[in-house]
Structure 1
């Protein structure tokens, strides 16, 4: 897949570890470089008693020791505040010499645009943004907003915003045609720092509870998520760990008992397959014992993740299948290619504009 991406002109990729085990990324970084990629190492932010300044400073040092193309400070949960950004980011940059930094912050708590500005003030050279209507909400801040604010502060933001406007118009037309939500700024919520469930997951939890006739218990579920995260050793709430925590919280509330029923993913987590010894050491011993004291856990004790070879994938999907379609099917799912084709046909006319726009002009 990486070789194909390089062939298509992609030269940069970000890599990370869900537990910030940065030293484990050296081999991956070197393999990517041999294939023609320039790897950016993620250092992910989180909030808990174990995620101290020294914790992040040490991860920054470890990232710099690998000598990556760049380092990215990643706030996937939207948990940073402008004050915390001003306090922490300069300390990280001070440990990494002349390696450039990127900043990746979500807007879950309404502070993403402000945090981006503070990161630049601290010395970060690259800020991740999104094109509306895919900006704000639980996404990154709007590229238009951040660029204009940086220019107002006297920084050079070498972007042609006018060239981006057609892309924004196209995405907005598709969203309205399909009834998709358009990203909007969200209000600040102090409770975000307790449960740390990403905003996009909350709607999934509401659906799970509604299916069980408990749609009015979302607040209880969010409180339970904070307890589950503590029981699991305070994992960083990033995919897939945040899904494990949130789904287990919903199961606990639905059944009225903690860990009476658990998913296979939670069992794999308890066996150390999503964090290794660090995840096991951080878990509440009694909770881990309860999760593993069931027949299904014993069945999965020696489970190995299937890793099909390229030859096996060719045999499954056909020798004539293009590289792009093979990658899509292998990673996303067997029906992924058909979904993409159907969506492309539905949304675009002959010149690539949304069909609804062409009809209006006719």
Structure 2
């Protein structure tokens, strides 16, 4: 029987997708040793945004989980999720490099990360930087549905990813959009064009099809799957390791996992869910509308919350409809962090204001200027030149770590673009506060 291997995502993606990273350090530590004995090839351990979550909300030192957790996993190779690029914000490369150096110092030498455009030319320098600090990288090849994301596109992108000689390629369906039919079409193409680079499969259950797609992928030669342990499986997370392993055995495959060791882990996390009022991951019904707006499941709940704060929760459906047009205006970006948040937030603002691009987010401006990838600069002209959302050429030059430009250039540009917002007064007040602030020591 052909062996199939598993990557565990429970404390990272399961925690992030279903529990909004609301597991605290002690909760994860209590399950670590049992998870370590199950036979996972690797386990996702940390995502960069956990720094903010643990510090701001849980009032914990995030390095405690790194320091203590790495001691509990002695058999399973741990993975860091993220690279040398920021997620929602532009973080200086030197900061992220220092972080990675410390991570490697704790023995985590494998990471998985993405370029949100599947732009592997841009990825090349990041991969080089990660190797220089001792990190092996699994590069994501992200699936999406649009006129530009064709079979030929994925064959070409698989070749480009393989040319970087990464540790592995992860074919990633972040939106739960893959169908068994598309799986049968694309998995052979990806495997063929990846050559001798190993390929993994990572999918979310947003639309209920991921468990079926996993089985189809294995039939076509996929050897490594990403799963989660219930109650942090299903829903908007990954398929359940129990369900996938059981179905693979029924098909005659040999899952390289010992599920019996994981039963106490399920009991532990189920007790936490009950005590903390956290959701239990359950299978999701199929929803055709998911293919129209492609907004990830976890983000829909956040949009509902944001609309509720302004008394417009009833506008959620209209926001999802608007997201279809916004994504087209943005040039069909892959709906993955941070691009999905840019599209969804702008769609919500369009609905709230009642006019497209009359008000725009900072990220929409940055996106249209190409600061979030060169493909972002090829947006629909209506986004750049809308009636009140004009985006004239910003007199700044892009660089890896900063934006070179003067305050006066920024002030003039903003005043020309949005005169009604009295930005001149805003900048004057800002300069006054800066010039009259109490001097600080070195």
Interval containing the TM-score (normalised by the shorter chain): 0.7 to 0.9
Match of 2:381 among 285, 301, 320: 285
| Structure-2 separation of matches of 1:292 and 1:53 | 38
Match of 2:302 in 1: 204
Structure 1 residues 265 and 291: CA distance shift in structure 2, 3 A: farther
Match of 1:219 in 2: 317
| Structure-2 separation of matches of 1:51 and 1:291 | 30
Match of 1:32 in 2: 130
Match of 2:368 in 1: 270
| Structure-2 separation of matches of 1:32 and 1:14 | 11
How far the C-alpha of 1:15 sits from its partner, in A, is 2.4
How far the C-alpha of 1:303 sits from its partner, in A, is 8.4
| Structure-1 separation of matches of 2:277 and 2:238 | 21
Alignment partner of 1:41: what SS?
A: strand
2:250 is the counterpart of 1:152: yes
Question: Is contact 2:357–2:389 with CA below 8 Å preserved after alignment?
Answer: no
Note the residue ranges of structure 2 that are not aligned, 5 or more in a row: 1-98, 403-442
| Structure-2 separation of matches of 1:109 and 1:285 | 33
Match of 2:64 in 1: none
Match of 2:187 in 1: 89
Match of 1:9 in 2: 107
Cα deviation 1:158-214 (Å, max 9, x = unaligned)? 111122222222221111111111111110011100000001111121122222322
Cα deviation 1:75-115 (Å, max 9, x = unaligned)? 10110001110111101111122221000101110011111
Match of 2:8 in 1: none
Structure 1 residues 213 and 301: CA distance shift in structure 2, 3 A: farther
Match of 1:248 in 2: 346
Question: Is contact 2:307–2:313 with CA below 8 Å preserved after alignment?
Answer: yes
Alignment partner of 2:172: what SS?
A: strand
How far the C-alpha of 1:154 sits from its partner, in A, is 1.3
Alignment partner of 2:255: what SS?
A: coil
| Structure-1 separation of matches of 2:371 and 2:225 | 32
2:225 is the counterpart of 1:127: yes
TM norm structure 1:
0.79
102-111 vs 214-223, greater mean Cα deviation: 214-223
Higher relative contact order (CA 8 A, sep 6+): 2
Question: Is contact 2:249–2:255 with CA below 8 Å preserved after alignment?
Answer: yes
Note the residue ranges of structure 1 that are not aligned, 5 or more in a row: 309-362
- Please tell me the root mean square deviation across aligned C-alpha atoms, in Å: 2.1
| Structure-2 separation of matches of 1:80 and 1:138 | 14
Structure 1 residues 303 and 170: CA distance shift in structure 2, 3 A: farther
Question: Is contact 1:270–1:292 with CA below 8 Å preserved after alignment?
Answer: no
How far the C-alpha of 1:71 sits from its partner, in A, is 0.8
Cα deviation 1:20-76 (Å, max 9, x = unaligned)? 101222222233233322211111110000100011110001111111111110110
Alignment partner of 1:260: what SS?
A: coil
More strand by proportion, 1 or 2? 2
72-81 vs 17-26, greater mean Cα deviation: 17-26
How far the C-alpha of 1:241 sits from its partner, in A, is 0.7
Alignment partner of 1:128: what SS?
A: strand
How far the C-alpha of 1:268 sits from its partner, in A, is 1.0
Match of 1:180 among 272, 275, 278: 278
Structure 1 residues 243 and 279: CA distance shift in structure 2, 3 A: same
Structure 1 residues 23 and 306: CA distance shift in structure 2, 3 A: closer
Q: How does 1:106-145 map to 2 (within 5 A)?
A: 106-145=204-243
Match of 1:169 among 264, 267, 271: 267
Question: Is contact 2:326–2:347 with CA below 8 Å preserved after alignment?
Answer: yes
| Structure-2 separation of matches of 1:299 and 1:166 | 58
Alignment partner of 1:94: what SS?
A: helix
Match of 1:355 in 2: none
Cα deviation 1:98-146 (Å, max 9, x = unaligned)? 2210001011100111111111111111111111111111111111111
